[in-house]
Structure 1
Amino acid sequence: MSMKKMLAVVAAASLAAAAAPAFAANPFSDVPMNHWAYDAVEQLSAKGILEGYPNGTFKGNRAMTRYEIATMVARMMAAGGLSGEDLEKLKALVVEFQPELEALGVKVDGFDSRLSALEKGLGGWKITGQMRFDYNAWDNDVAGSGSGEDGFTMNRARLFLHRDLSDGVSFDARWHNDTFDRWWVTAKDFFGMEGLTMRGGQFALDWEDEDGLYDDNDAFFMDTGYRGFDLKYNRGMFTVEGFAASRRGGGSVYAANPSDDVYGARLKLDFSEKLWLSVNGLWEDRGDTDYKTYWAGLGFSFMDGLELKGAYYMQDIADDSVVVAGADDPKAWKVILDVSQDVLKFTSLWVEYAQFDQGFILHNNPYSFSDIDWPEYDKVITVQDDMDALFVKAKQKWNDKWSSFERYVKYDMDNVNDMKEWTVGIGYQYTPNLYFELAYSDMDGKLGDPDYDNNQIRFRTLLNF
């Protein structure tokens, strides 16, 4: 066993030993989806006012515990900068969850005066932020090889700005990587039409995330920035949305020529709290690669916290844009079993199985914890061979501070070597704003190199403010 592997085992064992005395069942009962506080939190999250979980997501398709809501409320109290209806929602949440907030060490007395002073000082602006700071240690450290590099890395440093301009109109911006990479205006009930929302500027769209079709950062498509206009209409059981944009911002996928165009359309039907269906389309012109992607998603909840869902994808790639010979009409599909810890009691469980045709184009590297190499072509990722993928993740929340997780992924290709990766980690929520995580990952094989063998230790510090 190498020295780095030995250090990983010792560090993980030490952290687990320190956590053991604190492990206990969550003492707070669930807040059901029909509770008024659930609706308030969901609305504030949709506006970008409220940060959800340490990875920046808000799991809006299940019941929440009183502790989870109290943690989110504590973050809003620390951030301030609210006004109008949003401020009133926060005040009501503070009253409702005062016992849980005090258990977190958050002082509730005098909150109104403190928040009013902060609002006045910011001139109506709400400013929040996130810092994600990593230390990585690799067994095989080869700079520039895609194997990873040792040392400290500022994985993410962001500031978020929000201001309500008038009734239903607001402005948002994000400072990231030394520039404003996102900035947009939102107008609700656009032109007096109830349920119609317009966004204009440079903003993020992620329809797979809205459907709960991936975990971590494993979106097949989107999950990035667009520059243009988006119209979204929600009425009763259905939501229809469309956008037109130029390619810009957000990540490597859209950092190419801003004159390239991308269009999208979506229809979402929520038949009930248990059953939903979505139909989505993307039309992309990225210079040398011109293709269309269509997918349908479907989900059914057997009970709160137990959902079976999946999606079927089809692509139409222009003949002169085909990256892999003969792969001008590739397809893919995936099926997911999503079980919450509320159901299994001791752990949550995500099991996902997917199949890809050779030549299928993806926007993101699917499933990998770190950096199993995938070939890029014009800033997209292309599946080099017919491939099956199995992804399993379990997470245990032991109490209000400690958690642990395990994940496994295997890529099985017909004519190329297989790849697999497994990861274990422990998380510690030091305060509602500050989170630490220690993880160990082992990788075997990568494209074109069946003998590839590497492992990674990652210590992450995540701060939300």
Structure 2
Amino acid sequence: MASIVARALVTVDAEKASKQDMELLKKLVMEFKDELDALGVKVDSLDKRVAVLEDRLGGWKINGQFWFDARFASNADNNQNTYGFKNNSAGDHNQFGFRFARFMLTKYIDENTFFYGRFRFNDGSGPLDSFFADKFFVQTKLPWDITMTLGRVYSDWEGDAGLYHSVMGDLEGGLWKDQYYDGFNFKKSFGMLDAELLIGRNFDIRDGDEDNEFMEYGLKLQANFSENFYVGVQGIFFDFDGDGKSKTTSMTINGTKYDFVTDYGYLDDFQQYGAYLSYSFTPAIALRGYYYWQDLGDNAPNGTEDSPMAWSALLDVKQDLLKFTSLWVQYVEQDNAFVGPRAAGVYPALFGSDQVGAAIGSEGTNKTWLITAEQQWGESKWSSFLQYVTTDWDVDTVDDTDQYTIGIGYQYTPQIKFWLAYNYIDYGDGNGKADGYTGSESVVLFRTAIDF
């Protein structure tokens, strides 16, 4: 009977099996656990197989993220802050709202094809409005073992290569992390060489408008020389095919009509080229890095560099080696004129700095050190972390930014985790503007992260 149960797990069709069938199969696995062990069958793997079948019952899978933040601040930063939600004013001390309010829907169409959509609200406080899907695609297998994805596609080449790191699951780091585009993505492996090709449009490069005037073509090649060493090269070409005109909107204020620029037009093609590598000295210690170079053409702002560069080197040490903590040490150097979906626009820490906006598009090169230490407390549900971030913006009117964070986490259940963190930001003398952030800010964050 035990062998029949094992064979049933292998052959059952999750697309057609009823919930009652799955419940019965699960009970049989538990009932014949000892016999399955005697046959040399790994019951743990069978339990996982049952869980997967249940998870995909009828070909559907629904999961989500419910991350709720309670933020308590000193509000000592000239009534300005970088920890706020979209519906809170700058002078609010305490702010409650959603870090993530998302749910994901997957439909398994056949053994080689599935649909995926990620639906979300504009993360923040107040009414959960602006409901939209930022990922909406179908992935399938083509002949010659080619994987094709089409629709509203997402690519994260830096994340795939392990080139950035986050704490508390937040969206930290990454100069070219988020590529959302309407189009096609193709992947194929040629032995030790992995290739990825993308063809798309409507990628938000930097203007906040995803209806821009570019076709996008990208190619990434990664050579996996061994389990410990890989090298990759990539190129992205944006083919300008618009009129280069800025988009405007009109508004009447006190009887006077005003025109406002909502999207500055592009004028030329531009390209980005990059290379990266990773070498693991042991399973617990790795050295990685990347280098990017851009040709902005006539899109470069007047008086700024038209071929900006960025590079980073990082050391990743696991807790297995140091025993008491892991360690992530990263240095990032980036020209302020560098263009990207996150480049110089997202500070690699829990909360940001308005110095970023003042530095973007200017001369100079910003330099950032990011040091993160994380501790898993043995086999317990407790964990903790320390983080230090400092950035020199290399602009006379923009002061350096220093940030210190300490936090502790408790994994209440496999799906629920509580975080308590303290964050201190020193803005220095600000960004040269009268309403810029100056002085320092202290924030206590309590986060309830529910993944279901």
TM > 0.5 fold call: yes
Inter-partner Cα distance in structure 1 for 2:45 and 2:183? 42
Inter-partner Cα distance in structure 2 for 1:226 and 1:144? 37
Checking the alignment, whether the CA contact within 8 Å between 1:362 and 1:381 is kept in structure 2 is no
The alignment partner of 2:442 has SS state of: strand
Amino acid at match of 1:447: N
Amino acid at match of 1:353: Y
Matched, 1:237 2:192: yes
1:286-305 aligned at under 5 Å gives the runs: 287-288=265-266, 290-305=269-284
Match of residue 350, structure 2, among 369, 378, 389: 369
CA distance 1:452–1:117, change in 2 (3 Å): closer
1:444-455 aligned at under 5 Å gives the runs: 444-445=426-427, 446-448=430-432, 451-455=438-442
Q: How far 1:248 moved relative to its partner?
A: 5.1
Checking the alignment, whether the CA contact within 8 Å between 1:141 and 1:148 is kept in structure 2 is no
Q: CA RMSD in A?
A: 3.3
Inter-partner Cα distance in structure 2 for 1:137 and 1:340? 32
Q: How far 1:311 moved relative to its partner?
A: 0.6
Amino acid at match of 2:366: M
Inter-partner Cα distance in structure 2 for 1:370 and 1:440? 11
The alignment partner of 2:140 has SS state of: strand
Amino acid at match of 2:229: L
Matched, 1:418 2:369: no
The corresponding residue for 2:308 is 330
The one-character-per-residue Cα deviations of 1:215-241 (angstroms, maximum 9, x if unpaired) are 122110132422110011112211111
CA distance 1:236–1:110, change in 2 (3 Å): closer
The corresponding residue for 2:163 is 213
Checking the alignment, whether the CA contact within 8 Å between 1:324 and 1:359 is kept in structure 2 is no
Q: How far 1:263 moved relative to its partner?
A: 2.4
The one-character-per-residue Cα deviations of 1:330-383 (angstroms, maximum 9, x if unpaired) are 112110000011111111100001222242224221413202125559xx9546
Inter-partner Cα distance in structure 2 for 1:442 and 1:227? 39
Checking the alignment, whether the CA contact within 8 Å between 1:424 and 1:441 is kept in structure 2 is yes
CA distance 1:116–1:241, change in 2 (3 Å): closer
Amino acid at match of 2:97: T
CA distance 1:460–1:311, change in 2 (3 Å): same
Match of residue 162, structure 1, among 71, 88, 106: 106
Matched, 1:269 2:223: yes
The corresponding residue for 2:37 is none
TM-score by length of 2: 0.71
CA distance 1:346–1:113, change in 2 (3 Å): closer
Checking the alignment, whether the CA contact within 8 Å between 1:225 and 1:254 is kept in structure 2 is no
Asked which structure has the greater CA Rg, the reply is: 2
Q: Which runs of 5+ in 2 are unaligned?
A: 1-12, 17-21, 34-43, 85-93, 122-130, 167-171, 241-263
Matched, 1:459 2:446: yes
* Greater mean alpha carbon deviation, residues 325-334 or residues 304-313: 325-334
Amino acid at match of 2:59: G
Amino acid at match of 1:443: I
Checking the alignment, whether the CA contact within 8 Å between 2:363 and 2:395 is kept in structure 1 is no
Count of matched residue pairs:
359
The corresponding residue for 2:115 is 171
CA distance 1:345–1:170, change in 2 (3 Å): same
The alignment partner of 1:193 has SS state of: helix
The corresponding residue for 1:138 is 73
Identity over aligned pairs, percent: 32
Checking the alignment, whether the CA contact within 8 Å between 1:411 and 1:419 is kept in structure 2 is yes
Match of residue 388, structure 2, among 387, 408, 425: 408
CA distance 1:110–1:422, change in 2 (3 Å): closer
The alignment partner of 2:149 has SS state of: strand
The alignment partner of 1:234 has SS state of: strand
The corresponding residue for 2:134 is 181
Checking the alignment, whether the CA contact within 8 Å between 1:410 and 1:420 is kept in structure 2 is yes
Q: How far 1:253 moved relative to its partner?
A: 6.7
Amino acid at match of 1:202: R
The alignment partner of 2:59 has SS state of: coil
Inter-partner Cα distance in structure 1 for 2:296 and 2:374? 38
TM-score by length of 1: 0.69
Amino acid at match of 1:187: T
The one-character-per-residue Cα deviations of 1:274-316 (angstroms, maximum 9, x if unpaired) are 1100111222359427532211001110000200010111111
Inter-partner Cα distance in structure 2 for 1:113 and 1:265? 38
Match of residue 392, structure 1, among 361, 367, 371: 371
Match of residue 152, structure 1, among 80, 92, 96: 96
Amino acid at match of 1:428: Y
CA distance 1:280–1:152, change in 2 (3 Å): same
Q: How far 1:396 moved relative to its partner?
A: 0.2
Checking the alignment, whether the CA contact within 8 Å between 1:389 and 1:411 is kept in structure 2 is yes
Q: How far 1:151 moved relative to its partner?
A: 1.4
CA distance 1:144–1:232, change in 2 (3 Å): farther
Inter-partner Cα distance in structure 1 for 2:153 and 2:363? 31
Q: Which runs of 5+ in 1 are unaligned?
A: 1-80, 99-106
Amino acid at match of 1:301: S
The corresponding residue for 1:441 is 423
The corresponding residue for 1:199 is 149
The alignment partner of 2:175 has SS state of: coil
Amino acid at match of 2:139: T
Inter-partner Cα distance in structure 2 for 1:263 and 1:454? 42
Inter-partner Cα distance in structure 1 for 2:230 and 2:52? 39
CA distance 1:402–1:82, change in 2 (3 Å): farther
The one-character-per-residue Cα deviations of 1:121-174 (angstroms, maximum 9, x if unpaired) are xx3211111111111122227899454333111121111111221231111111
CA distance 1:82–1:404, change in 2 (3 Å): farther
Match of residue 414, structure 2, among 426, 432, 442: 432
Report which of the two has the higher share of helix.
1
Amino acid at match of 1:305: A
The one-character-per-residue Cα deviations of 1:43-81 (angstroms, maximum 9, x if unpaired) are xxxxxxxxxxxxxxxxxxxxxxxxxxxxxxxxxxxxxx9
The corresponding residue for 1:17 is none
Checking the alignment, whether the CA contact within 8 Å between 2:304 and 2:362 is kept in structure 1 is no
1:6-155 aligned at under 5 Å gives the runs: 123-140=58-75, 145-149=80-84, 150-155=94-99
